[in-house]
Structures are given as C-alpha cells and as structure tokens.
Amino acid sequence: MNESFRNIWTILKRELTGYFASPVAYVFIVIFLLLNGFFTFMLGGFFEAGEAALARPFFNWHPWLYLFLVPAAGMRLWAEERRVGTLELLLTMPVTAWQAIVGKFLASWAFLALALALTFPVAITVFYLGNPDGGAILTGYLGSLLLAGAYLAVTVATSALTRNQVISFILSVVICFFLILAGWEPVTSLLVRWAPTDLVELIAGFSVMPHFASFQRGVVDFRDLLFFASVITFSLFGTSVILRNLRGA
Amino acid sequence: MIQVDSLIKEFGPKRAVNGVSFTVNRGEILGFLGPNGAGKSTTMRMITGYIPPTSGRVRIGNHDISEQPIEAKKLIGYLPESAPCYSDMTVHGFLRFTAELRGLKGVAIETAIAHVAGLCFLEGVLHQSVDTLSKGYRHRTCFAQSILHDPEVLVLDEPTDGLDPNQKHEVRQIIKRMGQTKAIIFSTHILEEVEACCTRAIIIDRGSVVANGTPNELKARAENAGSVSLRVHGVAAEALRSRLNSLSIAGKVSVQGDATTVLARVAPRDRSIQGELAKAVAEVVLKEGWKFDELHTEEGRLDDVFRSITLPDSVKARA
C-alpha cells in the first residue's frame, strides 16, 4: 500500500512539474483567468445584477469554460506518452497501470484546482462589495472542482485512445458536450415535448448540469458527490481497459 | 535468471513470435540477432512485461512476468528500442524520476545517478533538458535509466544504435563488465558486437529461433569455416590447384589470380580436422619451395552465417 502511494506520488510529481516546465501551465492559467473575468464581469453582468452571490455570474459559466479548457489541459496525458514511446518505459517500471492512471489524473486535477484557486479575487470582490453566503461560495467552488474532475477523467480516457493530442481533444470535447446537453435546461425542455418524462429524466441523469447546479445553490447532496465520483471512477476504469487493450493488440 | 518458454505472440492473423524458448543465466550475455521484423522487439517487450504473450511463459528470477509483474519488473532494467525519454525533463530529473519508481530512496538516489552519469558520460548534461540533447546523449540517458538500479536482469533493445564508435565501444565495455554478474540479453544488427561481447547468440527469423550457440559455434557453421587460404607468387594457377587437390584431406580447391599472384582456397574434406589442413598445406608449400605471403585458416564470418540462415529461400536461389 505504502509502495503504491509512493508510486502515485512520484508520477503525480513528474506530471505536475511537467506542466510548469513548459509555458503550457502559464498560458493555460492566464487564459483561464482572463476568460473567467470576461464571462463574470462582461457577460455575466456581475455588477449590473447587484447581487452578492457568485452562482449566476461566475460558476454558471464553468461548464462551458471547462468544456474547452479541461480537455486542453488533459489531452497530452497519455497521447504524448504513446507518441514519444515513454509509455513502454513507464509500464515496464514496477508500477501498475492503475497507479500511473491515478497519478496522472491527480496531477492534472491538482493543476486545475490551482487555476481555480487563483480566481480568489472574484470571491474577495464579492465579499468586499456585499454580504454573500460564504457557504454557497464554498460549495460552488467544490462543485466546480468536481466538474473539472469529471471532464478531466473523460479526457484521460480519450487521451489513452490515441497518440494524437488533437483527436484526443476533440473526442473529449464532444463527450463533455454531451454531458452538458443531456441535462441542460433548453435541451430537456425541448425533449419533454415528445419523449416520456421518465426517459428525459433518465438522460438528464447522465448530465453534469443538475448535479453541478445543486452545488451552486449551496447544497452538498450525497447523490451529487456520488455522481461525480462515478463519472471519474468509470472513466479512469475505462482508461485502464484501453491501456490493457493497447498492450494486448 | 531469464526463462522464456515457447513464447507466442499473434497480432490479429499475423504470428509475430512463434514458439521462442531460451534461458539466460547469471553471467551470460545473450546476443539477440535477426533481420528487421523478425520478432526481436516483440519478444523483448514480452520479456519485460510490456505486452502479454498470446501463449507461453516468461520467468524472471523466481517470478512469472504475467502472474507477479511487479516483483519481476523490479529485477529488470530495460532499454526500449527507440530509447524514449520524457523530453520535458532534465537528464537529472528524468533519472531521479526513474530511480524513485525503482524504489530507491534518499541519498541512494543521488549516489546512483552520479554513478550512472559517470558510466554513461552524462555529467556534462545532467541539468540540461532532454529536449536539447543530441540523439547519442538521449540514447545514453535512457541506457543510464536501465542500469540505474543495478538490476539483475538487463534487457537492451539495440543499445548501441545511433552512437558514435567511441560511445559504442564504451557501451559494450559496460555491458561486458555487467555481464559478469548479471543476466543480459541484447539485440543488435552489428555482428561484430556479438563476437565482441556475447557469451551466446540466438538468431531469430520470422518469429522462430533458427540458431542458438556461442559465437564460435555459430561461426563454424559458415560455409567457408575451416578452409585454408593461401597466396603464392610465381606459380601457375592450374599447377597450384592440381598439387593441392592431391592432398588427401583436402576437399574442394578453388584458385583465382593472375600470372604473378594466385590465391587458393582449400576446403577441408571433413570439417572436424581443423588445423590439420593448414599444416598439410604448409608442408606442400615448403616442399615445393613456393614463395607465399599468406596462409591462414578461415574462421568463418558471422554475417555469412546470418545471411545463409535468414535469407528467404527465394533470395538464396537467386544468389
């Protein structure tokens, strides 16, 4: 057990330093923060709303912002290993595929968490200007982090599918887009017109949106946590299956 | 240390490795030869546990690579064919990463890195990014990674590929030295390399082992192994031929040359007589009083053996 933690930690460390060894990390963080500011203050109408909360002007944009940025941050994880051939090196080390998958996933997630944490001035602003519900902001951040984790896990899987980062990126954007649309209100209200409500709810159940939304209301529901945990576990498990097939074929 | 037992690997309908078996003991250096696409790399990937075999077993030490992969992998140092390295790391960072995955801790890591950096001449580039290195350096960085943890089993896929002659020599020396206490298997296209450092060689062709023996045993299989070459001056070719033909232990005699110098090659009638033939030829030369400047027994060349074994029959017929 101790050994697997150490292996995961070693791989995590390498991936994380990998981000900062190239301009990727800095470009990513700057773009992420700029877009966040743009959405919050320009499109989100933060000031015009005159409301001391972050849900609508800030967190509401995250499913769409992450849709492109998370796949961009995660697409290289396995695709690059496959392209360069280091996959062979990594998997002939005394580590299991699971340790490698988890290590890489956690590294990327930690990186996304850092980017998210750097949006703290927005929170400070809202506290400075008004008297918001601190709990709701906290759960908002938690929901946002879990959402990023779910997208990232999908990206990890698509990244193992190909040695081409662009393909990996597009695939994960499409899958994540589905995860949004299935439960996005404009789409569900359209579906309800011709499909039975149960079916619509079933499809919406696959979506990140309703689960993400409850965090924005300041609610931490066990079922929502379970949902994100399942998406992550399922995707990472899928990754291990993909890697196994890759070596077998 | 390495036990490979009827290993088979199929990729779809294609059988890349077809029933390969061999063992490598501690203190042995096994050269793994074969034309491109013969299944060398696939076999090595199965030995190191990168790809699972379709059937057959690989044992490293006391561990089956499929059943106890982690324990088995701990004993192995592996240099993959393309010598891949993480290009976004420094040489030092890369070696440190592999050392940690290999379970080295604390001071042992820096000691090991310093040691292999010295062996592989990497001291000057330790803090340089792998990205900026030339191919030879990158290759040696990956090689350094494979010997970093002082493994009992070394699997090297073309370890001298892309190195300059001096570096090749160095790597061979390292392999030879390590071979005294470890089980090493390495693949190569360079046949002199096999003669220079292997205790045993295997030739693999289209997925099967077609020859297995010491380099000398393999060389003895060459067509002209054991025949005697003789170069004389001022003797007519025909006279030379008929005189040599009269030797009882001589087989086929071929001569070629011009009026002044003739080169004769005498094949032994029986391969086992080695050495006798040269003596007999020398006696003839002395008795006749021929002027000669060369007389030696051919050892047989590994590449002749390699060619005769691995050339497809159709190509052989044409030759």
Q: What is the 3-state secondary structure (H, E, C) of A171-201?
A: HHHHHHHHHHHCCCHHHHHHHCCCCCHHHHH
pLDDT above 70 covers a percentage of chain B that reads: 95
Q: Does A230 touch chain B (CB under 8 A)?
A: no
Q: Which of B70, B86, B103 sits opposite A86 (nearest CB)?
A: B86
The rounded distance, in Å, linking the Cα atoms of A162 and A239 is: 11
CB A152 within 8 A of CB A105: yes
**Residue B297: beta bridge partners?**
B228
Q: Does B95 touch chain A (CB under 8 A)?
A: no
Which residues from chain A sit within 8 angstroms of residue B93, using beta carbons? Answer: 14, 17
Contact state of A3 with B103 under an 8 Å Cβ cutoff: yes
Q: How confident is the model at residue A184 (pLDDT cuts 50, 70, 90)?
A: confident
Domain ranges of chain A: 2-248
Kindly report the nearest CA distance between residue B133 and chain A, in angstroms: 15
> Which of the pair, B142 or A48, is modelled with greater confidence?
B142
Q: Does B88 touch chain A (CB under 8 A)?
A: yes
The DSSP code sequence of B4-19 is: EEEEEEEETTEEEEEE
List B residues 98-127 in contact with A (Cβ-Cβ < 8 A).
Answer: 98, 100-103
Contact state of B48 with A92 under an 8 Å Cβ cutoff: yes
CA neighbours within 13 Å on the CB side: how many for A126? 24
Which residues from chain B sit within 8 angstroms of residue A11, using beta carbons? Answer: 101
The rounded distance, in Å, linking the Cα atoms of B50 and B30 is: 20
Q: Does B77 touch chain A (CB under 8 A)?
A: no
Contact state of B78 with A92 under an 8 Å Cβ cutoff: yes
Q: Which of B84, B87, B101 sits opposite A93 (nearest CB)?
A: B101
Q: Which stretch of DSSP H or E encloses residue A231?
A: helix A222-248
Q: Does B55 touch chain A (CB under 8 A)?
A: no
Q: Does A1 touch chain B (CB under 8 A)?
A: no
Contact state of B52 with A7 under an 8 Å Cβ cutoff: no
Q: Does A248 touch chain B (CB under 8 A)?
A: yes
List A residues 71-100 in contact with B (Cβ-Cβ < 8 A).
Answer: 84-86, 88-89, 91-96
pLDDT at A33: 94
pLDDT tens profile B252-290: 777 787 777 888 888 777 766 667 788 888 888 888 878
Q: Which of A14, A84, A93 sits opposite B73 (nearest CB)?
A: A93
List A residues 167-206 in contact with B (Cβ-Cβ < 8 A).
Answer: none
Taking CA atoms, what residue in B is nearest to A247?
A: B51
Show the CA angle centred on residue A99, arms to residues A96 and A102, nearest 5°. 145
Q: How high does pLDDT run on average in chain A? A: 90
Q: Which stretch of DSSP H or E encloses residue A15?
A: helix A2-21
Helix axes A2-21, A24-37, angle to 10 degrees: 80
Mean pLDDT by 10 residues, chain B (319 residues): 91 89 92 87 93 92 92 94 90 94 92 92 90 89 93 92 84 89 89 85 89 82 76 79 78 77 79 73 81 80 76 60
Contact state of B87 with A84 under an 8 Å Cβ cutoff: yes
pLDDT at A47: 77
pLDDT tens profile A195-226: 888 888 888 888 888 889 889 888 898 999 99
The rounded distance, in Å, linking the Cα atoms of A29 and A118 is: 8
pLDDT at A116: 95
Q: How confident is the model at residue A32 (pLDDT cuts 50, 70, 90)?
A: very high
Which residues from chain B sit within 8 angstroms of residue A84, using beta carbons? Answer: 84, 86-87
pLDDT above 70 covers a percentage of chain A that reads: 99
CB B34 within 8 A of CB B160: no
SS3 B256: strand
Q: Interface pTM (ipTM) of the complex?
A: 0.88
Q: Which stretch of DSSP H or E encloses residue B203?
A: strand B200-205
Q: Does B144 touch chain A (CB under 8 A)?
A: no
Structural domains of chain B sorted by starting position, each given as residue range(s) with its CATH number in brackets: 2-219 (3.40.50.300), 228-298 (3.30.70.3100)
Predicted TM-score (pTM) of the model is: 0.87
> Which of the pair, A56 or A124, is modelled with greater confidence?
A124
Which residues from chain B sit within 8 angstroms of residue A14, using beta carbons? Answer: 86, 89, 93, 97
Q: Which of B50, B71, B142 sits opposite A91 (nearest CB)?
A: B50
